Chain A
Amino acid sequence: MYRTLLCLVTAVLLSACGIDYEGSTKYIFKGQIRDRNGQPISNIEVATFVYNGNAEDIISRDRTDSNGNYQMIFPKARNVKTSLYINSPFNGNNANAEYSGMVVVGIKQASIQNYTINFGATTLFRNDDAVNLRINLISISNRSILKIRPLGLVQYSEIEYDPDFFGIVDPEDQHYDPFNRLDYVVAKNQDLVIKYLLQDNTVHEVHVPVAADDVTFNLEY
């Protein structure tokens, strides 16, 4: 009797952990993938990832067509964090090894207008057009760094959907790209911005020029 009850309770709890979908509401994510020259890239996989703290799911995926366009339509998931994975390791064997990948995080329900988000054009760079960037953290104050992100053409970069937001919602936000990651692969010949959040909740930016060789940047904070 108790065993049966325990099984039932466990089953109920497990089902409660799953993601709750609303089948009658369909969201549309779309956009275009281009290279550094503005040319569309075909056959790049894009996936929509949802996570509710207990369960996760790739609810939709698509490959860019000959014009670099992608579009995914999927049911609304309630109370989840939503991310867009573009040619990332999360896409597994479907990732195109010739090009960089990235993830757009922090996509909120409120950002979805008319059931749609158009991510516009996203630029990927060729992996043979890249160099290494190492960031050395040099403490010159008593404030520690909570979050650091190089912004620009960065391999497996994590971009906030809301460009005005730069904070930490909770530690689970860092599951893809830990804030203390300091080694990056970045595209050659660009002006990178390194954005960082200090313990006193101040956000800072510093520009890092990247040429054709590996870069080591000393970040004093």
Chain B
Amino acid sequence: MKKLLLLLVLITGIQGIAQDTIQKKINTEYFRLYYVFPNGIGNNVLAKANNGVAGIGVFITLYSINKLHFIIGYEFSQYNVTDVSLAANVKNTYTSNFYFGALYKMPLLNKVDLTTKFTIGAFTLNQKSDGTKYGKQRGPAFTPGFDIDFKITGHLRIFAGLDYCLALPTTHTASEYKSFFGTLHQLNITTGIKF
């Protein structure tokens, strides 16, 4: 009886370890490269005086514990200025976000995972026009988001997701415009590869 119990424990343990190993292989994400469709929302300068053009982002996993990953990454987006009376007489606005955070991966279907994430970043907004620079605004950014990926082969997956980014760059202006320039909301669609 004792032998049977010992065998059962061993089998269960080995099975658990094997499942963990398989699970880890399926879910561990080491690197992500993605395209951003930037989009300002709400009542702020990105939404009212700019049109999102394109962006790119990359992150790597620093450490993972099962489904939980700790990541560090960088994202850069370009906007075209559409209202020069609000955003200054410049051509482009650029945002960048150097971030770290965590993501949690949840298997949905065979080959399909759902990933939720939350990052905190160092956000920078700057404007340029034909090489002329118009200063920078810096502040923190908080980005919850999610994506759904599909396994292509091995570790390679493609994904599409949605990120909401709240950026709070430092702004000195009249009180009625402080929020307009200092509380920026973005709802960005992301798509790319991860492995």
Contacts and interface: CB of A to CB of B under 8 A. Distances in A.
A24 B170 CA distance: 6
A112 B162 CA distance: 42
Size class of the A contact interface (CB-based, 8 Å): 20 to 34
Interface stretch (A52-60, A79-87, A180-188): A52-60
Given A60-B88, A61-B89, A62-B85, A26 B133 contact: no
A75 B126 CA distance: 11
Given A24-B170, A28-B177, A115-B172, A75 B89 contact: no
A98 B126 CA distance: 38
Interface stretch (A66-74, A137-145, A171-179, A211-219): A66-74
Contact of A73 (B85, B125, B126, B135): B85
A25 interface: yes
Size class of the B contact interface (CB-based, 8 Å): 20 to 34
Contacts of A23: 125-127, 134-137
B110 interface: no
B125 A26 contact: no
Contacts of B133: 18, 21
A54 to B, nearest CB: 13
Nearest to B131: A18
Given A25-B172, A26-B173, A73-B177, A60 B85 contact: yes
> Which interface residue of A18, A57, A63 has the most chain B CB atoms within 10 A?
A57
B177 A24 contact: no
Nearest to B45: A73
A72 B89 CA distance: 10
B118 interface: no
Contact of B174 (A19, A74, A75, A114): A114
Contacts of B136: 23-24
A114 B172 CA distance: 10
Interface of B: 84-89, 125-127, 132-138, 169-175, 177, 181
| A-B CB proximity, top 7 nearest | A23-B135, A62-B85, A21-B135, A26-B173, A74-B88, A25-B172, A21-B134
Interface of A: 18-19, 21-28, 47, 57-63, 70-76, 114-116
Given A26-B177, A72-B85, A75-B88, 13 more contacts: A21-B134, A23-B125, A23-B126, A24-B135, A24-B171, A25-B172, A25-B173, A28-B177, A47-B89, A60-B85, A70-B85, A73-B86, A76-B135
27 contacts: A18-B132, A21-B133, A21-B134, A22-B135, A23-B126, A23-B135, A24-B136, A24-B138, A24-B169, A24-B171, A25-B172, A26-B171, A26-B177, A57-B89, A57-B132, A60-B85, A62-B84, A72-B85, A73-B85, A73-B86, A73-B87, A73-B173, A73-B181, A75-B88, A76-B135, A114-B175, A115-B173
